[in-house]
Amino acid sequence: MFGRKRKSAPEPQTDKGETEGQEAKPTLVFCGTPDFSVPCLKLLHETFGVACVVSQPDKPVGRGMEMASPAVKDAANELSIPCFQPKSIKSIKFDAETGFGGGSASAKPLIEHLNKIRPIDAFIVVAYGKMIPRSLMDGARCGVLNVHASLLPRWRGAAPIQSAVRAGDERSGVSIMQIDEGLDTGPVFTMKPVALDPRENTGSLHDKLSTLGAQLLCETLPRILEGTLKPAPQEPALATHAPKWEREDAVINWNDPAEELDRQIRACAPRPGARANFRGNPIKIYDAQPIQSYAGIGKTPGTVVKCDKHSLIVAAGGGSCLELLRLQLPGKRPLDIAEFLAGAAVFEGEVLS
């Protein structure tokens, strides 16, 4: 095992510079960027120790375009772990004798640090957001391990959580895999499933899988490092793809059936929010539900078929109906429907586009 052991008092040092009775810790490099990665980083560091962190550069966000650091960088700083943010890692090279080299100017500090901490046992990747070069696969004893938010080979790609919700999957999960040069095509060490709740959205599933992935990685890692757990190849014929979520994926088409719109809205919640138009202005929909009603039959999709103080029902494709539950107007905060209707007069027969 590679975990740390607590001690009541210091013990004599061996000639290897380690405390007698203490298990050697692996040298791990963590690569991650968004908040999904943070639970994994924290538990990994608590359990094994993390030698350094690689994250994407700070980026401008919001209306003011102020620079903001990735969630993983903030967590690394809290844990006092060295954090590097190269613009690119694809040109980093590795030689078994001379170590890491090459790379862009922004990668030089990282390369220098990697050579200081060699030999490296494994690179751990959790939602880093960039392709991993061959050099990192060759530069660690156990290569590059990845925590992927799906049950591979289903939903390979950048948006497995949104894709699972939008498709109406009954279950999702996490996979611990070995990264190769394909996109989530490497062999899988282990997987753990989780059931989706009937009203699951991207935010709630994100949090489930983030925690589950951290636990599964730390349970599995000792056997991977010891070489007692071998990965199994994926079945290519079963693969489905989850491309990056684009702006167009959030646009509501009222001609779609209410059940499909419901899944789309939940896939867009809490970010970026599904988008429609009302009276020529953009409106975001964060929650809705299909309902059994005859009111939508024969009505143009997008037409308000019922509106009172507490409910707003819109016709959708195939005569189905969608009840809107949480909305946001431009420049305003999201509101539950009763609060929204208290400040906005909506009339039956109006049409959302």
Confidence (pLDDT) at 294: 77
Q: Where are the domains of the chain?
A: 28-238, 247-343
Tell which residue, 196, 194, 192, has the closest CA to residue 165.
196
* CB contact at 8 A, 5 and 22: yes
Confidence (pLDDT) at 108: 97
- Sort 108 into a burial class: Cβ within 10 Å, 0-12 / 13-18 / 19+: middle
pTM: predicted TM-score of the whole model, two decimal places: 0.91
Alpha-carbon gap, residue 19 to 143, rounded angstroms: 28
Instruction: Encode pLDDT of 125-177 as tens digits.
Output: 999 999 999 999 999 999 999 999 999 999 999 999 999 999 999 999 999 99
- In CATH, the architecture of 28-238 is 3-Layer(aba) Sandwich (3.40)
* CB contact at 8 A, 156 and 183: yes
Question: Both tokens of residue 49?
Answer: 């120790």
Tell which residue, 316, 266, 276, has the closest CA to residue 292.
316
Confidence (pLDDT) at 10: 34
Q: Is the peptide bond before 57 cis (omega within 30 degrees of 0)?
A: no
Instruction: Encode pLDDT of 69-126 as tens digits.
Output: 999 999 999 999 999 999 999 999 999 999 999 999 999 999 999 999 999 999 999 9
Is 3 a residue whose pLDDT tops 80?
no
Confidence bin at 22 (pLDDT 50/70/90): low
29 contacts: CB under 8 Å, gap ≥ 6: 50, 51, 52, 53, 54, 114, 117, 120, 122, 123, 124, 140
Alpha-carbon gap, residue 95 to 89, rounded angstroms: 16
Instruction: Encode pLDDT of 47-85 as tens digits.
Output: 999 999 999 999 988 777 888 999 999 999 999 999 999
Torsion of CA 98, 99, 103, 106, to 10 degrees: -120
Confidence (pLDDT) at 130: 92
Instruction: Encode pLDDT of 179-203 as tens digits.
Output: 999 999 999 999 999 999 999 999 9
pLDDT more than 70, % of the chain: 93
Alpha-carbon gap, residue 106 to 130, rounded angstroms: 15
Q: If you average pLDDT over every residue of the chain, what do you get?
A: 92
Q: Which residue is it, tokens 């040109």?
A: 91
Confidence bin at 21 (pLDDT 50/70/90): low
Residue 210, number of CB atoms within 10 A of its CB: 22
Tell which residue, 195, 158, 202, 153, has the closest CA to residue 175.
153
The superfamily CATH assigns to domain 247-343 is Formyl transferase, C-terminal domain (3.10.25.10)
Alpha-carbon gap, residue 160 to 244, rounded angstroms: 9
